[in-house]
Homo-oligomer: A and B are copies of this chain.
Amino acid sequence: MTNVAAVIGGGVIGGGWAARFLLNGWDVRVFDPDPEAARKMGEVLDNARRAMPGLVDVALPPEGQLSFHATIAQAVTGARWIQESVPERLDIKHKTLAEVQAACGQDAIIGSSTSGFKPSELQNGALRPEQIMVCHPFNPVYLMPLIEVVPSPVTSPVHVARAKEVLTSLGHYPLHVRKEIDAHIADRFLEAVWREALWLVKDGVATTEEIDNSIRYGFGIRWAQMGLFDTYRTAGGEAGMRHFMAQFGPALKWPWTKLMDVPEFTDELVDLIAGQSDAQSGHMSISQMLRTRDDNLVAMMRALKSQDWGAGAIMNAHERQVRSDTGMDIRIEGLPDVSAPLLTVRRAVPLDWTDYNGHMNEAKYLQAFGDATDRFMEMIGCDAAYIATGGSYFTAETHIRHVDEALAGAVIEVRTQVLMGQGKKMHLWHEMYEGDRLLATGEHFLLHVSLQSRRPTDPSAEILAALGRVAEAHAALPTPEGAGRAVGQRP
């Protein structure tokens, strides 16, 4: 049965939620009285469809169905998750939640995107307050892992547990905020920095651009991976946090920040900031900036994924779940029939795989073929646990023929044929397709080695048996066109 989410209130935030659900295979039902809602949401969805599918290294399930509904009751009927992203006014929130609860199931999770209200404020006068919690996202919702999950004391723990489970299955990181507090956690930091930044601009100390540069060329990059405390922990040297605090603590008494009062929010201040921001970035349209932002976020998050750290570790957990859900983690022993070439890669080409020619870069073809080899190794039992015992396959030789181009977002598949597999030797043939279109072939000769001696050795009996089973079955396949050929050699 397909999962159904209801999105109440479109816009950038509602659209981001819709994208996150849809691209993870959920059906999404939207209610938004704005006649422009479909267009606005379409723009967010376009950006999401561009950036999100290639984020992890396996294809997401088929996209769910998107529908727009004339009433809240229609939108929420049958929904497992209802996300409220209406304007930040408590009376509107209360009216919306009342309509939602009049029509939705008791088991449904009702999450609010509010940054300004506490869950107990939202629950005031509600039919079933226990069903309501804050699920506060960060823009772009389709890329940022963080969701602040804030229950009140009367929110049902069962609903909270289920909410965290659903969010995790969508690739989010649910941060359970244990005490409700104004603005939750992250926005308190954002506000502290925002206020100080306004003072610095107002007093002519720095422009908006100088402030952005002071963040993104320094602590912004550090915070993207370790946050505040771990960064300072490392600054304390081997003595750690206590030493850092002994050094830094006294500075707390210094009146550095001007945050003791709030800058007057005058027209002059708005003009000053908007003018500086135009001077800084007016040469780009907002839609260009959004795409640039997404390009950067995807590239950095995929970099963290390769390190299995921070947001990248969250992405790897999501990928493992998707692999399991889509059968991309099955081993040879789980396959009754291995007579045809085996599906070893199914993924979308990520934004960071394209180059100045506008298509998938040549090295990424080998990346995909290398991933196919890794997956085949895993299928025959040469997985991370086996490699940790000291054996692995090293590639000795590779021959790639680039037949056609692939653009970012294309769903590519690699199918793998074993040309030979015995003893230390493994000779593989990969074919890469987008649909029926052949993109490339890869011929690879690998040797099993001891990671200690770095010399060739026989693999384990289990690997030999699994590889042998596939090699024997594939011996009946015709030799692929192009196998055994040198560069420039024609048939």
Contact = CB atoms under 8 A, between A and B. Distances in A.
Nearest to A276: B229
17 contacts: A146-B213, A173-B217, A178-B205, A215-B227, A225-B296, A230-B280, A230-B289, A233-B289, A236-B286, A246-B270, A296-B310, A299-B306, A356-B387, A363-B367, A398-B400, A398-B402, A399-B486
Interface stretch (A60-68, A72-80, A252-260, A323-331): A252-260
Given A186-B214, A240-B277, 4 more contacts: A178-B205, A192-B193, A197-B228, A234-B290
B256 A262 contact: no
B352 A362 contact: no
A274 interface: yes
A223 B297 CA distance: 10
A22 to B, nearest CB: 21
A12 interface: yes
Interface in A198-247: 198, 200, 203-206, 208-231, 233-238, 240-242, 245-246
A263 interface: yes
A205 B179 contact: yes
A22 B444 CA distance: 42
Contacts of A394: 357, 402
Interface string A69-100: 00000000000000000000000000000000
Contacts of A352: 303, 306-307
Contact of A366 (B12, B254, B256, B366): B366
- The main secondary structure of chain A at its interface with chain B is helix
A162 interface: no
Interface stretch (A119-127, A137-145, A338-346, A460-468): A137-145
A116 B265 CA distance: 29
Given A265-B249, A293-B226, A400-B397, A173 B213 contact: yes
Given A286-B240, A289-B230, A221 B185 contact: no
A317 interface: no
B485 A214 contact: no
A251 B286 contact: no
Given A277-B233, A366-B362, A254 B217 contact: no
A166 interface: no
Listed from nearest, the 10 A-B pairs whose CB atoms lie closest are: A212-B227, A146-B218, A220-B223, A299-B303, A146-B217, A224-B224, A241-B277, A208-B229, A303-B303, A225-B296
Contacts of A205: 177-179, 181, 185
Interface residues of A, number: 153
A38 interface: no
Contacts of A217: 144-146, 173, 175, 310-311, 314
Given A314-B217, A487-B398, A280 B146 contact: no
Given A179-B204, A445-B488, A484-B488, A252 B263 contact: yes
A451 interface: yes
B245 A273 contact: yes
A148 interface: yes
Given A216-B310, A301-B221, A229 B196 contact: no
A224 to B, nearest CB: 4
A252 to B, nearest CB: 6
Interface in A368-423: 370, 384, 387, 392, 394-402, 405
Contacts of A2: none
A214 B224 CA distance: 10
Contact of A211 (B198, B228, B384): B228
